[in-house]
Amino acid sequence: MGKNKLEKFADMRAYPHVFEYPYSVVDNVPFEMKGHWGRDFFKNDNPIVLELGCGRGEYTVGLARRYPDKNFIGVDIKGARMWTGATEAYREGLANVAFLRTNIEIIERFFATGEVSEIWLTFSDPQMKKATKRLTSTYFMERYRKFLVDGGLVHVKTDSNFMFTYTRYMLEHNHLPVEFLTDDLYHSGLVDDILGIRTYYEQQWLDRGLTIKYVKFRLPQDGALQEPDIEIELDDYRSYNRSKRSGLQTSK
């Protein structure tokens, strides 16, 4: 039988590669590993890659298996979800994986200038009502700039037409260099071993017949960022109430 939430939380507290610092904690305890993840935890100087809103951490663990010469940190606020990836990494003895349970709004408290080389945003909530909550908003881009190397890569994989369209406008408006962009990843010829990693949410959306969108861009340090002033059509499938969303279990 699977573990219940309390048992998962107990595992998380015991895992040496899991750091739990939600708002309530980090306000009282400074995060001393900021700037020292390589020296104090990974014990090497390899590049650090973040998966923000990692859920079960499919990208964190999947990339770590494929790239032993890079370090991967999955970030999410939901411990019971993160437990899945944290447990896989622990059982496999993956030394290049960590998980950070915190609010992404305070992510810059955990990483120093230039400490991170790449960011993955996997099926982030589109946050259609409020731009400042969107993980691809200029509000978050300014936060990422505080620790991402100059011109560091950002990958966005999403089912959401709203999120994808918004991100495209944000990139265009700020002249951020786009490396790849497709509104139908699985028919683009782009899918490879990495882009083919499927997350839990991704599989749910694919099962419902939605196409997957992907954009990879660079985030330079110079130039002020401006929020695009645009109206975007909402994703109608997201305004369904929970009982109508058959087959999509969003509460796990």
Ligand X SMILES: C[S@@+](CC[C@H](N)C(=O)[O-])C[C@H]1O[C@@H](n2cnc3c(N)ncnc32)[C@H](O)[C@@H]1O
The residues binding ligand X (CB under 6 A) are 53-55, 76-78, 81, 103-105, 122-125, 199-202
Tell which residue, 128, 62, 58, 133, has the closest CA to residue 103.
133
Query: Cβ closer to ligand X: 201 or 217?
Result: 201
- For 176, the token pair is 């951020």
Our CA angle for 103, 110, 224, nearest 5°, is: 85
- Which residue in the list 27, 45, 125, 207 is annotated as catalytic? 125
Query: Cβ closer to ligand X: 79 or 152?
Result: 79
Dihedral of CA 65/67/71/73: which sign? negative
Specify the DSSP element, H or E, that contains 182: strand 178-182
Beta strands at 116-122 and 48-52: parallel, antiparallel or unpaired:
parallel
Query: Cβ closer to ligand X: 177 or 196?
Result: 196
Question: Whole-number minimum distance, CB 39 to ligand X, in Å?
Answer: 26
Report which residue's Cβ sits closest to ligand X: 55
Question: Whole-number minimum distance, CB 161 to ligand X, in Å?
Answer: 15
Q: Give, as one character, the DSSP assignment of residue 245.
A: -
Question: Whole-number minimum distance, CB 212 to ligand X, in Å?
Answer: 11
Query: Cβ closer to ligand X: 91 or 130?
Result: 130
- The span from the CA of 239 to the CA of 13, in Å, is 36
Query: Cβ closer to ligand X: 38 or 234?
Result: 234
Question: Whole-number minimum distance, CB 140 to ligand X, in Å?
Answer: 9
- 125: annotated active-site residue: yes
CB 214 within 8 A of CB 181: yes
CB 210 within 8 A of CB 159: yes
- The span from the CA of 185 to the CA of 157, in Å, is 9
Question: Whole-number minimum distance, CB 150 to ligand X, in Å?
Answer: 25
CB 49 within 8 A of CB 220: no
| Count of CB atoms situated within 10 Å of the CB of 91 | 8
Residues with catalytic function = 125
